[in-house]
Structure 1
Amino acid sequence: MQQSSPIGIFDSGYGGLTVFRSIAEKLPQYDYIYLGDNARSPYGDHSFETIYRYTLECVEWLFSKGCKLVILACNTASAKALRTIQQKNLPTKYPDRRVLGVIRPTAEVIGSYTTSKQVGVMGTRGTVNSKSYLLEINKFFPDIKVHQQACPMWVPLIENNEHLQSGADFFVNEYCNALLAQADDIDCVLLACTHYPLLLPKLKASLPDYINILTQGEIVAASLVDYLDRHPGIDSQLAKTGFKSFYTSGDTNAFDEHASIFFGENLKSAKM
């Protein structure tokens, strides 16, 4: 790995900024490049092949910007593209690069958040249909029963800044009720889309108080800290000046306007 390499963070749109925010809070000294593929988002309803192609194109673009470590801060991309990129593309073309996702770090710790061993997973159709969480959670906690619920209307509501309006209540309640109807004793609900933390006020109102609502930002950030501790050779090559840059494949003005809602501060993006 060459010197002065920033950490790349990729998402299909804005949602990965919630993960980036947690990572930057825990590891503020590193340099980062964030890329949102807003021109082609949302990814949730696309085929495996399309999502793999889009994700690989964006990962390779981050590689071209000097990133040797890339985080797929997108559940759909992690579910449908990560394994192929890790097993097919990296060994043959980029043996010195690393691409990590958000599903495995979450699956590794989810057992700590449930007593009943009944867990709900709410995500895009792409994430749910991939069954990635079913497979990964079963590897670490075979006694946990996973109940999945696709929530196709949530990302459009959030990206159009309608998520806190009263009109969003119907879709929040509809999907929450559909999930809870699958089992009486679900006590942990994973928000398996990085957009969904913006719905937390409505989700807390819709779900029973005893349910742990799990978001991924802090989990992924803690996992990255552990990864860098275990891979000092990679860590030693990462740039540490605290610089952040933001790119989008879509309109930069629209990105800047919406991104601040996810990232918690105003930012200025450039065109991919």
Structure 2
Amino acid sequence: MSIGIFDSGIGGLTVFKEISREFPQADIYYLGDTARVPYGNKSKETVIRYSIEAANYLRSFGIDALIIACNTASSYALDTLKESLDIPVIGVVEPGVETALRYTENKKVGVIGTSATIRSNSYRFLLEKENIEVFQKACPLFVPLVEEGIVDGEIAELIIKEYLEELVKKGIDTLILGCTHYPLLKKTIEKIYPHLKIVDSSQAITDFLHRENLYFEGTGKRKIYITDESENFERFKNILVGDNIPLEKIELSKLCTL
């Protein structure tokens, strides 16, 4: 049994890491669309097209389930992929919301994400159905920070405070990291705001898979593909999942024609 995971770049490796740990026997194929990162500033139509291309590429490996490890793609393309594919398709939004509902005590939840994710109101819609007061903030500088490896230190702390101070003043007790890049900033966020309960998409996804009784057995194969060479991607890949899984660059034309 095998799992396909795609994201616009580095962030989805946090999901890849957690799923690899929780399902060691599963065959896991990861695609990072590094040539076209970020997705968060793209139109809905473009994100859907990119997502279809990524999904079709991963389908060529005979995957049994697809995980959209990108909040923007989950917000815009989940329904399209569910309709067009005959395998389970899992986004990050619903698992993140379920975790936040378990965490929050005062029913005030903050959501941060790319501009596209926040515009989609995908988190707000599900949370408000449960009578949660939602405070959202687009954090467009977080993805380039992570992609450049600036996840701690003075610059990262200043930008985090600039974005999050407003939400914290609203009294939130739980913060959803609505982008899979953001868990790489999690330690710095916790350092600045230790009282917040942080919802990490990578952990929320694995919890969701267990609750849905989705179990995968295979040979434990691990493959990571990217659409453009990236030193930062390789560095974080080595930090997060080790250097024993080589990167393989695929031609973007191959991805787009499948």
TM-score, normalization by structure 2: 0.90
Which whole-Å CA distance do the structure 2 matches of 1:252 and 1:202 have between them?
A: 24
TM-score, normalization by structure 1: 0.86
Q: CA deviation at 1:59?
A: 0.3
For 1:200, the aligned partner's letter is: K
Question: Counterpart of 2:128?
Answer: 138
Question: Counterpart of 2:103?
Answer: 113
Query: Once the two structures are superposed, what CA deviation does each residue of 1:204-231 show, in whole Å capped at 9, x if it has no partner?
Result: 2322x322122121221121123344xx
Any gaps of 5 or more consecutive residues in structure 1? 91-95, 230-234
Question: Counterpart of 1:174?
Answer: 162
* 1:81-96 aligned within 5 A: 81-87=77-83, 89-90=84-85, 96=86
Q: CA deviation at 1:20?
A: 1.3
Q: CA deviation at 1:252?
A: 6.0
Which whole-Å CA distance do the structure 2 matches of 1:167 and 1:108 have between them?
A: 32
Which whole-Å CA distance do the structure 1 matches of 2:180 and 2:192 have between them?
A: 19
Change (3 A) 1:271 1:257: same
Structure 2 residue 242 is matched with structure 1 residue 265: yes
Which whole-Å CA distance do the structure 2 matches of 1:133 and 1:68 have between them?
A: 27
* 1:224-235 aligned within 5 A: 224-229=209-214
Which whole-Å CA distance do the structure 2 matches of 1:107 and 1:168 have between them?
A: 26
Q: CA deviation at 1:179?
A: 1.9
Structure 2 residue 15 is matched with structure 1 residue 16: no
Contact 2:67 2:89 in 1 (8 A): yes
Change (3 A) 1:170 1:8: same
Structure 2 residue 10 is matched with structure 1 residue 7: no
Any gaps of 5 or more consecutive residues in structure 2? 251-258
Question: Counterpart of 1:103?
Answer: 93
* 1:123-162 aligned within 5 A: 123-139=113-129, 141=130, 143-162=131-150
2:185 equivalent among 190, 199, 207: 199
For 1:161, the aligned partner's letter is: G
Change (3 A) 1:166 1:210: closer
Question: Counterpart of 1:232?
Answer: none
For 1:270, the aligned partner's letter is: E
Question: Counterpart of 2:48?
Answer: 52
Query: Once the two structures are superposed, what CA deviation does each residue of 1:158-197 show, in whole Å capped at 9, x if it has no partner?
Result: 100122232222211100112224x2x2111111111111
Q: Secondary structure at the match of 1:39?
A: coil
Question: Counterpart of 1:222?
Answer: 207
Query: Once the two structures are superposed, what CA deviation does each residue of 1:116-158 show, in whole Å capped at 9, x if it has no partner?
Result: 100001111111111000112234x2x2111101111011011
Moved over 3 A (4+): 252-255
